[in-house]
Structure 1
Amino acid sequence: MQSNQTSTVNNMDVDVAIIGAGPSGAIAASLLRQQGHKVVVVEKQQFPRFSIGESLLPCCMQFIEQAGMLDAVNQAGFQFKNGAAFRHQSRYTTFDFTDKFTPGPGTTFQVQRGQFDKLLADTAISQGVDIRFGHQVDSVDISNEPTLQITDEQGHPYQINAKFIVDASGFGRVLPRLLDLERPSNLPSRSAIFTHIEDNISDSEFDRNKILISVHPEHKDIWYWLIPFSNNRCSIGVVGEPHLLAHLTGSLEQQLLAIIAQEPDLKRLLANAKVVQPCATLQGYSANVTTLATNKFALLGNAGEFLDPVFSSGVTIAMQSAVMACANLDKQLKGETVDWQADYAEPLMLGVNTFRTYVQAWYDGRFQDVIFYQQANSNVKQMICSILAGYAWDSKNPFVKESERRLNTIVELCRELDVA
């Protein structure tokens, strides 16, 4: 089942127009329909389609459940995930997401996004959501009540009149582009090269229930992800600043294989691997905006801000923003006044900025010193584990509430004790 759309291209009136049918769009549409609002989702692509962001965090599961999609996800046969493993040279450590500070789910899945995103969208459709695949947003006017000019998959134009627009377009960043909201990220420009492999991993000690993050043996700000799936395949990628990857030559596949070979454990682990997906690259992916929301639109997930793939926060931020936006939007559509800065943008940025603290500290080495510290205090590790599991909005967690100060304190302790 792909869509319940009709063949007509008549102008239409809705409460909410959602741009994008990925995880945040599908969940937002489901929640808004539950609340009794008329919603249409406009999706430029056809599903399934390839996407990265394949290692979900446990925090996501509560949002999936709120949208009435948990049974479908649990029954889909995705790879079970219970934590994260980190490796740098001879150092190896794991985080068990069930052993965390914050209440909530402690396990989740590693998913091939084409299948996962289609499942969420199809489930939303089965709930009665109108999703229009192959329909493109050409322009938006928010000078009065919002209107969107759309072209359908046959090239026919039509107009959607909405009371509110939700941008869940991810890296497409439709409203930031059309409304001139984009601004540079304060994070350095980085590049990623990635693909899917048939991994043929024979090492019995390799834990398929965890994402493996490996650090380059010489350059601590180059790292690799290895995300196992349930079908003897993995997602593999490398991330670094462009000048650190500039020495790589040949095709993207040759570049990726060459830099994998520089990490001895990955090279050994993937000795029998076969590339099964054309390699791709993503460059300068970190992004920011001037405004996350007004009383006419809200930006969800990557459409507003994308940090970095290192802690798999993208889908979590997308789903968290969907739930937060829909709660406020329900109030506005029922006649209540919503302060979108105070009620949506600022609470959302609490978690985004928590993730930002640890992303920046990963690349400058501070957080790596904490991750690989061997005599970690169990309570501190549980608090850090909660953030790695996606619970970056839990202000009861000291490492969320005062992320920078607390992190720097523990970094100093780890470094002092390591020297001692």
Structure 2
Amino acid sequence: MEQRDVIVIGAGPSGSIASALLKKRGWDVLVLEGQRFPRFSIGESLLPHCLDFVEEAGMLSAVESVGFQFKNGAAFLRGDEYGAFDFSQKFGDGRDSTFQVARATFDKVLADEAEKLGVEIRYETRVTAVDVSGDKPRVRAVDVTGKEYEAEGKFLLDASGFARVLPKLLDLETPSPFAPRNAVFTQVADGSAPDAFDRDKVQIAIHPHNRDVWYWLIPFSNGRVSIGCAATPEFFAKYPEQLDDRLKALVKEEPFMARVLTNAVWDTPVRGMSGYSANVKSMHGKGFALLGNAAEFLDPIFSSGITIAMRSSSMAVRVLDRQLRGETVDWTNEFERPLRKGVDTFRAYVKAWYDGRFQDIMFAKNQPAGIRGMICAILAGYAWDESNPFVAEAERRLDMVAKLCAA
């Protein structure tokens, strides 16, 4: 039986950050990753708060050296209406910019930096069983050759993302409060003119006839973009079943997307994701904790997934380090509850996006002074800053401002 201090499932952003932070604290970490890096992944638009954790892990200079696309905000489009947020105008402290990244490259940079610190990552290794009934959690894994083995650690962190290894193996899954939604997406060479749109901002466009259907356009630094559309299964059912044809048909219906992508080269197969929102009964248990999307995924609309994932890694490591040193810790009050505060803030904004309140605020002509800066701070990822009234009372404030804007 192989013995390690901590076993991490997954080498994506949350797994790489967590393993690096643990290694820097002197712990022996084994990462089991099901795929071979680099590999395609969705979620390319980072929020500024992400870089706080990249820096904490000692990886910021490596990320900055790649030459990723600079990002200073987000732009929303609805027909002829346009609203943009610049992170430099946000409420409170924090970073004013970040990057838009091809995740295949970004994730590999983080994983490589973790390995440089001494973290062992075993790629193409799937976790097939977990036992948390004993004194130490135990995992069974199979590598690319089909060889099976077991490893035991003092603690287990699930950073498996949408694979959701522990929630599935330990029956932790519970329905998301959000209605099921699907997405279709790809990356293309956009071929647009330099002034066709603001490449320093993620572009969010709303379908001209369905306000709960939206598109993203995330520019990269190499003349390519990530594009996609999110909608209900019922809406998508009206479009071609073949995903390439479906996304092309959807792009033609939205004027901004159609204009920007007029000369696009569709050189990458379109992919799909269904029912992506997910939740769990608990984010921790005996000998384990769940990080990022392995615990809960809300929705891609505000690009909050990686921010939540990285923050969960940082928070979990601080609690786990103390536990491994013999201190008594409270995972509910020191990890899950404070993490969920920010998740719940993002949840309020996702809810307001789909019921129309956020859009009413965004495009209102009589928007109350100071509101944009407070909302901008949340769009920058600072959803845990309770000095921000739109964090401390997210639901009530959103409802109040939406009514004022509609008056």
Q: Does TM-score exceed 0.5, indicating one fold?
A: yes
Residues 1:275 and 2:275 aligned together: no
CA distance in 1, matches of 2:54, 2:140: 31
Deviation at 1:377, TM superposition (A): 3.8
Structure 2: runs of 5 or more not aligned: none
- 3-state SS of paired residue (1:257): helix
Among 44, 61, 69, the residue aligned to 1:71: 61
Deviates more, 1:101-110 or 1:223-232: 101-110
Deviation at 1:295, TM superposition (A): 4.2
Contact 1:102 1:391 (C-alpha < 8 Å) held by counterparts: no
- 3-state SS of paired residue (2:151): strand
Contact 1:14 1:163 (C-alpha < 8 Å) held by counterparts: yes
CA distance in 1, matches of 2:286, 2:241: 49
Q: 1:295 to 1:98 in 2, by over 3 A?
A: farther
Contact 1:28 1:326 (C-alpha < 8 Å) held by counterparts: yes
Contact 1:295 1:338 (C-alpha < 8 Å) held by counterparts: no
Among 358, 361, 364, the residue aligned to 1:370: 361
* TM-score normalised by L of structure 2: 0.98
Letter in 2 for 1:331: R
CA distance in 2, matches of 1:77, 1:374: 38
1:347 is aligned to 338
1:6 is aligned to none
Deviation at 1:376, TM superposition (A): 3.1
RMSD: 1.0
CA distance in 1, matches of 2:405, 2:56: 39
Deviates more, 1:195-204 or 1:80-89: 195-204
Contact 2:368 2:401 (C-alpha < 8 Å) held by counterparts: no
Deviates more, 1:245-254 or 1:323-332: 245-254
Contact 2:83 2:362 (C-alpha < 8 Å) held by counterparts: yes
CA distance in 2, matches of 1:93, 1:205: 16
Contact 1:212 1:225 (C-alpha < 8 Å) held by counterparts: yes
Contact 1:203 1:269 (C-alpha < 8 Å) held by counterparts: no
Letter in 1 for 2:52: Q
1:38 is aligned to 28
Contact 1:82 1:210 (C-alpha < 8 Å) held by counterparts: yes
- 3-state SS of paired residue (1:275): coil
Deviates more, 1:366-375 or 1:90-99: 366-375
Among 386, 401, 406, the residue aligned to 1:410: 401
Residues 1:225 and 2:216 aligned together: yes
Residues 1:310 and 2:301 aligned together: yes
CA distance in 2, matches of 1:210, 1:286: 25
Letter in 1 for 2:154: K
Deviation at 1:185, TM superposition (A): 0.6
Deviates more, 1:348-357 or 1:242-251: 242-251
CA deviation profile, 1:88-144 (whole Å, cap 9, x unmatched): 011011000121113111100000000100010001101111111111111110001
- 3-state SS of paired residue (1:76): coil
- 3-state SS of paired residue (2:89): coil
Task: Tell me the matched-pair count.
Answer: 406
* TM-score normalised by L of structure 1: 0.95
CA distance in 1, matches of 2:368, 2:324: 48
Deviation at 1:203, TM superposition (A): 5.7
Deviation at 1:205, TM superposition (A): 4.6
Determine what percentage of the aligned residue pairs are the same residue. 53
Structure 1: runs of 5 or more not aligned: 1-10
CA distance in 2, matches of 1:335, 1:27: 23
- 3-state SS of paired residue (1:98): helix
Deviates more, 1:208-217 or 1:338-347: 338-347
Contact 1:16 1:39 (C-alpha < 8 Å) held by counterparts: yes
Deviation at 1:374, TM superposition (A): 3.5
- 3-state SS of paired residue (2:217): strand
Deviation at 1:154, TM superposition (A): 1.6
CA distance in 2, matches of 1:250, 1:187: 24
CA distance in 2, matches of 1:43, 1:183: 24
Residues 1:335 and 2:326 aligned together: yes
CA distance in 2, matches of 1:250, 1:176: 30
1:29 is aligned to 19
Deviation at 1:400, TM superposition (A): 0.6
CA deviation profile, 1:209-237 (whole Å, cap 9, x unmatched): 10000000110000000000011100000
1:87 is aligned to 77
Deviates more, 1:45-54 or 1:98-107: 98-107
Correspondence list, 1:176-325, <5 A:
176-202=167-193, 204-325=195-316
CA distance in 2, matches of 1:341, 1:322: 15
Deviation at 1:153, TM superposition (A): 2.0
CA deviation profile, 1:283-339 (whole Å, cap 9, x unmatched): 001001111012410100100000000000010010010001001101111111111
CA deviation profile, 1:366-390 (whole Å, cap 9, x unmatched): 0111111234344211110000011
Contact 2:132 2:286 (C-alpha < 8 Å) held by counterparts: no
CA distance in 2, matches of 1:283, 1:194: 12
